[in-house]
Amino acid sequence: MKLLRILATLVVATAVTTMVADENHEIIEKVMEEGLKGDDSPMAQVLAGKASAEDTAALAKLVKTLAGTKAPVGDQAAYEKKVTELIAAMDAVAGGDKGEAAIGRLKTAQNCKACHTDHRPKK
């Protein structure tokens, strides 16, 4: 009976972990696909100074969904630091700071390779 309870607990724990990992992956994928990826992406438009205030605010809202996600691989604290900086840099620009320093900060924070090198699972 004790063994059965242990096995049931392990099955439930595995199922919950899998659900969290899937949700985590979906959030990250959505932000990358809908906000950051490509030469015509909302992020590219913001960095080029071509995005409207509404589009910039929508991108900031999308980027904020990364808060609380878990690093797919690598150090969680380093991942959280990158996510926090991306959110802060995006918020500054969405808040109206279109200066060279703010845009430069955002450009650095949204650098795909920096995050992919440390946190993207190897295929």
Number of domains present in the structure of the chain: 1
Separation between Cα atoms, residue 112 and residue 100, nearest integer Å = 20
Tallying the residues shown for the chain, one arrives at 123
| Confidence tier at 15 by pLDDT (50, 70, 90) | very low
**pLDDT, position 5:** 58
| 60 pLDDT tier (thresholds 50, 70, 90) | very high
User: Considering the chain, what is the average pLDDT of its residues?
Assistant: 87
What is the share, in percent, of the chain residues with pLDDT greater than 90? 72
Contact indicator for 62, 35 with CB cutoff of 8 Å:
yes
pLDDT of amino acid 16: 38
Q: pLDDT exceeding 70 applies to what percent of the chain?
A: 83
Tokens of 94: 């969405």
Q: How far apart are CA 49 and CA 119, in angstroms?
A: 29
Domain range enclosing 102? 2-119
What pLDDT was estimated at residue 7? 45
The pTM of the full predicted model, rounded to 2 decimals, is 0.81
> Is pLDDT of 14 > 50?
no
* Confidence band for 94, pLDDT divided at 50, 70 and 90: very high
Mean pLDDT, residues 49-67 taken together: 97
pLDDT(105) > 80: yes
Residue 72, exposed/middle/buried by CB under 10 A (0-12, 13-18, 19+)? middle
